[in-house]
Amino acid sequence: MESLSIRQGRLEDLPELRRLYASCSRSYYYDDFGDTEEPELLSGVNAVLEDHQSERLRGFISFDGINRSEVLPVSAPTKVSLRAAAFKSAGAAARLQFRALFEHAQEQLPPQSQGYLFCALTEQGWLRASLEEAGFEFCDSVRLYERRSFQVENVQQPAVLRPIQPSDLLQLAELDAATFQPLWHMGTIELKSLLRDSRLEIAKIAQETAGYSVLRLNSDGSPQGFNSAQVVRLAVHPRFQTRGIGRQLLVSSLRYTHKLGVDRVFLNTQESNASSQKLYESLQFRNRGRPIPVFVKRVNRRLAQFFTL
């Protein structure tokens, strides 16, 4: 174990990182927008565990780059999501190594008064144990839903719907900050990324922004090009909730998929969000699989702790 050391990963580590992923069973990769490329995992906040004798990587973790949303309240922490992890070791050794790499990754973050909210979404037992070793705590679960039907009901139209333009993104980010906790918030950077390849629709009531939806078609390589869709976002400002705007936006997305011949639509929501679950289930969405646990750790300042491997 004395030959192991921790450092920040570099782009030239990419071939060795691929080998690590191909040769170990304890690996994790999460990409909620579907467009993260491998080099990005090594250009952001990350740490690798290197064996000097063999010049091989024995462990790796990667987090989001730090892009704090400009519309979050001053007191809100900056979210940092776990994107990838892989370890050759098992059991207690892997948990200790994960903790050491996590502490090293923290040192790459600039100090800020709001602190950071690290989060990870996983159902893998080895990763859950490693997160708990590093001080993460369970906070909620994500429930997955699927709808298989072309039938779409008629609903009331309380709002005027139109496609979202780039000039709308700041308003949408502000609405998102008012609607969701920092853990689930989307800022202008995330929304701009979605605007490239998704259908975004805004709901207006008397010139006020009341809500919005994001729908992405999933490519499958078929002649049609896609066989399912994902409702990536459905948000209604708290002042306009209970008026049927969320149902209107969701039905609009379903009708769009119907016109394209897509009958499989997926979405997810927090286990704690009972009102959203009620809406989805009323429109024939059904639970798909087990809820996926979400773990978080609030870090209020940079830590300078070192662990012996």
Say if residue 134's pLDDT is above 70.
Answer: yes
- Work out the mean pLDDT of the chain and round it to a whole number: 91
Angle at 231 between CA 230 and CA 236, to 5 degrees: 170
The pLDDT score that the predictor gives to residue 309 is 47
The pLDDT confidence band at residue 187, using thresholds 50, 70 and 90, is very high
Largest Cα span, the chain: 68
Q: Distance between CA atoms of 140 and 271, rounded to whole angstroms?
A: 6
The pLDDT score that the predictor gives to residue 135 is 97
Q: What is the pLDDT of residues 171-183, one digit of tens each?
A: 999 999 999 999 9
| Residues in a beta bridge with 297 | 118
The pLDDT score that the predictor gives to residue 102 is 97
The pLDDT confidence band at residue 155, using thresholds 50, 70 and 90, is very high
Q: Which domains, ranges and CATH numbers included, belong to the chain?
A: 4-142+293-299 (3.40.630.30), 150-283 (3.40.630.30)
Residue 105 and residue 47 in contact, taking contact as beta carbons nearer than 8 Å: yes
78-87 and 116-121 as β-strands: parallel, antiparallel, unpaired? parallel
Q: What is the pTM of this model?
A: 0.90
| Residues in a beta bridge with 11 | none
- The residue whose two tokens read 């159902």 is 123
Give SS3 for 139. Answer: strand
Q: Which residue has the higher pLDDT, 308 or 17?
A: 17
Q: What is the pLDDT of residues 15-40, one digit of tens each?
A: 999 999 999 989 999 875 555 577 88
Q: Distance between CA atoms of 113 and 72, rounded to whole angstroms?
A: 14
Least confident of 78-92, 115-129, 222-236: 222-236
Q: Which residue has the higher pLDDT, 108 or 118?
A: 118
| Other Cβ atoms within 10 Å of 196 Cβ, number | 8
Q: Which amino acid is at 142?
A: V
The pLDDT score that the predictor gives to residue 308 is 41
Buried b / exposed e across 262-293, counting CB within 10 Å, b at 16+? bbebbbbbbeebeebbebbeebbbeeeeeebb
Residue 146 and residue 265 in contact, taking contact as beta carbons nearer than 8 Å: yes
